[in-house]
Amino acid sequence: MRHHVITATLALAIGASAPLVVHAQSAAEQLQEYRTMLADGNPAELYEMEGEELWVKAMGPKNASLEQCDLGLGAGVVQGAAAQLPRYFADTDKVQDLESRLMTCMETLQGIAQADVIKGSFGRGVRQPMEAVVAYIVGQSKGMPIQVPASHPKEKEMVALGEKIFFLQGGPMDFSCASCHAVDGQRIRMQDLPNLTEKEGAAAGWGNWPAYRVSSGTFWTMQRRLNDCYRQQRMPFPIFGSDVTVALSIYMANKADGGEMNTPGLKR
């Protein structure tokens, strides 16, 4: 119900007639106004609250909770953990983002097979509670500085791979991430595009996802955001939690290092 109201109000704001240039600016400005208005009432909070309960709830074949999950700051430490992801984990010997790390915890603690999570769909099945947990975890880093210096050799390696993948063109439209996200101040239709190759743009992008998406009325994790980027790039389907998604994530997070976490964000 609530998101319908927001959608309708935004549609009015974007559809209102006004002189050309003024209109183009005011859509972005008005969206910013709505973000400010909703700062204390982001619908993502509903997901956060659900996730907080799910974090301590016994689930899965092992009937265990996620409370002992190590998100990088020690077992069970949630506050500030998302601001320092992706990072290298010694137990898996891999660089992991929040969602691939959660898959590890769900498998080891709860007995939920990673393969089942990977083959699922966003917003459904085992992914549904997982996404709420993501909302809870990123909410516990809100307002904190992004700290992804990529000092471990494996983190450095993934940043370097992520950068190359960011610029790698493919598919029938020759697109790469850089086609839309390597220049300041550009738009697709009315949508502003952050320049993810520089700190300010990367912080605006990385620091505001995961987010509640007004247009779809759903909470989108970073994995879902990247998945839809690749869909629009006309590329094949990026496998959930795959190395490419983690490499791109740590490339962005490292560029955004020192910026602010505003998660969960509120998006168009």
Partner 1 sequence: MKNQMMNRSVVLGSVLLGLSFGVSAQAVDPAVMAIMESSFRTQGIADKSRIYPDEIQALCSDKAVFNSPEGQKKAIALQTAALEAIKPPSDGVYLGDWQAGDKVAKSGRGATWSDQAGAANGGGCYNCHQVTKAEISYGTIGPSLLGYGKLRGNSKEIVEYTWNRINNSKAYNACSNMPRMAHFKLLTEQQMKDVMALLLDPASPVNQ
How far apart (Å, rounded) are the C-alpha atoms in residues 109 and 62?
A: 7
Asked about 105 being catalytic, the answer comes back as no
The one among 28, 126, 165, 229 contacting partner 1 by CB under 8 A: 165
31-39, 68-76, 237-245, 256-264 -> range binding partner 1 (CB under 8 A): 237-245
- Applying the rule CB under 8 A, the residues between 6 and 45 that interact with partner 1 are 20, 23-24
Residue 153 interacting with partner 1 (CB under 8 A): no
Phi/psi region, residue 76 (left: phi>0; alpha: psi -120 to 50; beta: rest), is left
Residue 145: strand pairing partners: 260
The one among 9, 65, 114, 179 contacting partner 1 by CB under 8 A: 179
Cα torsion 138, 141, 145, 149 to 10°: value is: -60
The one among 12, 37, 115, 188 contacting partner 1 by CB under 8 A: 188
How far apart (Å, rounded) are the C-alpha atoms in residues 155 and 168?
A: 20
The one among 126, 242, 257, 260 contacting partner 1 by CB under 8 A: 242
Residue 239 interacting with partner 1 (CB under 8 A): yes
What DSSP assignment string belongs to 185-235?
TEEETTEEE--TTSHHHHHHHHTT-SEEETTTTEEE-HHHHHHHHHHHTT-
Residue 186 interacting with partner 1 (CB under 8 A): yes
65-73, 94-102, 135-143, 166-174 -> range binding partner 1 (CB under 8 A): 166-174
Residue 212: strand pairing partners: 219, 266
Active site residues per annotation:
229
Residues found near partner 1 in the complex (CB under 8 A): 20, 23-24, 161, 164-165, 167-176, 179-180, 183, 185-191, 231-232, 234-239, 242-245, 247
